[in-house]
Structures are given as structure tokens and as C-alpha cells.
Amino acid sequence: MICIALGAVLLISEVLASAFIRHHVEQMITLIGPDGASLRPDLERGVRRTLNAALLVSLPLALVVAALTALYSARRVVRSVELLRDGSHAIATGNYERRLPEEGQDELTDVARHFNRMAAALQQVEQGRVELISNVAHELRTPLSALRGYAEAMKDGVMTPEAVSGAILRETAAMERLAQDLSVVSRVEAGAVELHPSDFAPDTLIADAFERFVGAYEERSVALVRVECGELPQVTADFERASQILANLLGNALRHTPRGGQVTLGAEHRDGDVVFTVADTGSGIPAEHLERIFERFYRVDPARTRGDGSGVGLTIARGLATRMGGSLTVSSSSQGSVFTLKLLVAHPH
């Protein structure tokens, strides 16, 4: 291939040089006069010989430069492939911290950049898996310990089967609730939760949530105040799922509002959407915890036990809100917290 390329260069230069030489020799003869015609053969031979000599000298140099460039490119490609091979092997063996160097602006750098993004995503998934297993084990440890204690007490005759049965049912119910919540949160995060959207008035959702919780609030001596919504446009959402979100927010507010406190439930039309709010007069949430409270099993106060909930309720609530095209946010101060559920306004059919 190199010989063919060399021959092609010489042939092209010969053709182009001949035309160039003839043109300039004719100009010289015109300037010199008739006597210059005898110089034509010598001039053509001299120029052609000089040109060919220059080509023969420059071609080996060009070949050396081309060979060095090709060698450098080949070594860089081979090195990138080796790094990619080693990196993929590390990922396959569970080393999700492995990253490739991102040097340059070419396609190989793009491959390395995409590889690093993939590795970061896998590392995050693995970290979430480890945390989930650890959290589930922690959540199950308390009811299992309680069940073991009741069984030993019944075996030793300290407690009668009748006395133990109620406690066992309570602990197994807690574990069943945890299993159900984990199933729901996994489907929500995978986008596999089934929704049945419909158009309904916001006041019906407010009334349903108020009726469900007003009794529990009275038992805890916490006031549940329902703010009149007035005329609001209908929203499009899954009524049962939206009710589940408000139930979670009202349950959390009840657990974190002291006796004599107040929780306000209302809705308003804001920025083209309908916004539902649950505001309490509890101690509030520190700023550094505001976003993390939507993570699975995250607790602002680590001392709180599973009796305060399964630890995934807010994760489910935000996931459901997002799946319905809305959002769930929180703001807080020392006077209490405000959870805001935004749902889409129904469009006329």
C-alpha cells in the first residue's frame, strides 16, 4: 500500500509539474527572446530533477512521521481498550468505585465518561441495596426480639398463652405492615404501581381525610382544623393514592405534634395547580434533614423506634405524588412543619 501511494504521488507530481514547468518556461522565453528557446530542455530537466529529488527525500520523512503517528494512535487505542477491559472486570467483581481517566476530547474520552457515569450509577444502586438490607434487618430486629421474649415468657410460665397472644398478634402485624410497605415502595420506585386517575373536587379529598383522622386526633388531644377550600378546580389523580398520601402526612403530623397542639388541613389554587397543605405546630425539622426525610428508613431522631412508623411512608408518598404528575415538598421552622402536596388541575374533556 505504501508503494502504491508513493507511485501515485510521483505520478501526480509529474503531471502537475510538467504543466507548471511549461507555463513558466514559456514566460522566460518570451522575456529572453528567441535565444531562450535553446534553454527549454535544460530548464525542464533541471526543475523535474530537483522536484523528484525533493519528493524522494521528503517521502521517507513523511512515512516516518505517519508511522509514529499511527503507532501513537494505536498505543492510545490499545491502552484505552485495556483500561476499559480492566474497569469492566472490576465492575463485574463488585468494585463499583473503579473509574477510567477522562483525558482528551475524542470518542475514547466519551466512552470513558459514559463508563464512569455507569459505574457511579451502579455504585449508588449497590449502596442503596446494602442500606436497604441493613435497614430492614434493623426494623425486623425489634419485633423478632419481642416475639422471642414472649415465647420464652410463655415457656417459663411467666405469662399465660392468653396474655401473650395479643402481643404476638401486635408484633406480627407490625412485620406484615413493614413487608407491605416495602412491597409498595419497591413498586413505586420502579414505576410499576397501578394508578386509576379520575377527576374529582379537592374538597372531597379533604373531607375524606378529615373524617378518617378526626377521631384519632381527639384521642391524642390534638386539634385537627379543616380550612374551607372554597371554589377550587377539579384535579386529575388517583383518589385512593392521593388519600393514601394525605393519610401518611396526617399520621406523621399526629405523631410529632404534642398534646394541645394543632394540625391544619387545607387546599388552594396556586400557580395553575391545586396545592394541599398539612401544617402542624410540632418542634419542626432541622434544615439539614428536610430533603432526607423522604429517603427510605431515614429518621430525624435515630432514637425513634419502629412504633413511629415503618420508615418508608414518606418515600411512598413522594413517589406516588410524582407518579401522578404532582410533587410533595416540605418546609419547616421552630414553629412546626408544612407538607405541600401539589396535584394537576383537570383539563376539560
pLDDT digits (tens, 9 = 90+) for 184-220: 877 877 777 888 999 999 999 999 999 999 999 999 9
d(CA 322, CA 140): 29
Most confident of 22-26, 39-43, 77-81: 77-81
- Over range 118-133, report the average pLDDT: 77
Per-residue confidence (pLDDT) for residue 214, from 0 to 100: 93
Q: Name the pLDDT band for 183 (thresholds 50, 70, 90).
A: confident
Please state the CATH superfamily assignment of the domain spanning residues 198-343 in this structure: Histidine kinase-like ATPase, C-terminal domain (3.30.565.10)
Indicate if the pLDDT at residue 87 is higher than 90.
no
Q: Name the pLDDT band for 182 (thresholds 50, 70, 90).
A: confident
Per-residue confidence (pLDDT) for residue 10, from 0 to 100: 58
d(CA 31, CA 25): 10
Task: List alpha helices for the chain, DSSP H.
Answer: 2-32, 40-92, 107-155, 161-189, 202-219, 239-256, 313-323
Residue 12, C-alpha cell as written in the block: 501526480
Q: Give the three-class secondary structure for 129.
A: helix
Q: Name the pLDDT band for 55 (thresholds 50, 70, 90).
A: low
Q: How many CB atoms lie within 10 A of CB 337?
A: 23
Per-residue confidence (pLDDT) for residue 153, from 0 to 100: 85
Indicate if the pLDDT at residue 305 is higher than 50.
no
Per-residue confidence (pLDDT) for residue 40, from 0 to 100: 62
Q: Give the three-class secondary structure for 344.
A: coil
Indicate if the pLDDT at residue 98 is higher than 60.
yes
Indicate if the pLDDT at residue 222 is higher than 80.
yes
Q: Delimit the domains of the chain by residue range.
A: 2-92, 127-189, 198-343
- Over range 308-331, report the average pLDDT: 86
For the domain covering 127-189, report its CATH number: 1.10.287.130
Indicate if the pLDDT at residue 328 is higher than 90.
yes
- The 3-class secondary structure across 75-122, one letter per residue, is HHHHHHHHHHHHHHHHHHCCCCCCCCCCCCCCHHHHHHHHHHHHHHHH
Chain-wide mean pLDDT for the chain?
80
- Over range 266-285, report the average pLDDT: 91
CB 193 within 8 A of CB 320: yes
The amino acid present at 193, given as its one-letter code, is V
Indicate if the pLDDT at residue 21 is higher than 70.
no
Q: Name the pLDDT band for 26 (thresholds 50, 70, 90).
A: low
Write down how long the chain is: 349
Q: Name the pLDDT band for 306 (thresholds 50, 70, 90).
A: very low
Q: Decide which of 51 and 214 is more confident.
A: 214
Q: Decide which of 36 and 297 is more confident.
A: 297
This model's pTM is above 0.75: no
d(CA 335, CA 176): 35
Per-residue confidence (pLDDT) for residue 197, from 0 to 100: 92
Indicate if the pLDDT at residue 4 is higher than 70.
no
